[in-house]
Amino acid sequence: MNKKKFKVHEVMLEVGKFPIAKTTDFLKDSIELMDNYRLGIICVIDEKNKLSGILTDGDLRRNLSNVQKPLASYFLDYTTKYIKRDATTIYENDSLNEALEIMEKKEIWDLPVLNENNELTGLLHLHKAIKKILTNSII
Contacts with another protein, residue ranges (CB under 8 A): 23-24, 26, 70, 72-73, 76-78, 80-81
Nearer to another protein, 76 or 130 (CB): 76
C-alpha–C-alpha distance, residues 100 and 3, integer Å: 15
Distance of CA 12 to CAs 1, 59, 69, 94, 113, Å?
Answer: 23, 23, 37, 11, 8
Q: Which residue, 78 or 91, has its beta carbon nearer to another protein?
A: 78
Alpha-helical regions (H) of 24-85: 27-37, 57-66, 71-75
Between 46 and 98, CB nearer to another protein: 46
Nearest approach, Cβ of 125 to another protein (angstroms)?
28
The least CB distance from residue 5 to another protein, in Å, is 40
**Residue 73 beta carbon to another protein: minimum distance, rounded to whole angstroms:** 4
Minimum separation from the CB atom of position 25 to another protein (A): 10
Nearer to another protein, 62 or 81 (CB): 81
CA distance 17 to 69: 33
State the minimum distance, in angstroms, from the CB of residue 110 to another protein.
23
* Beta pairing, strands 120-125 & 13-14: antiparallel
Report strand pairing: 20-22 vs 13-14.
unpaired
Residue 64 or 134: the one with the smaller Cβ distance to another protein is: 64
Distance between terminal CA atoms of the chain?
8
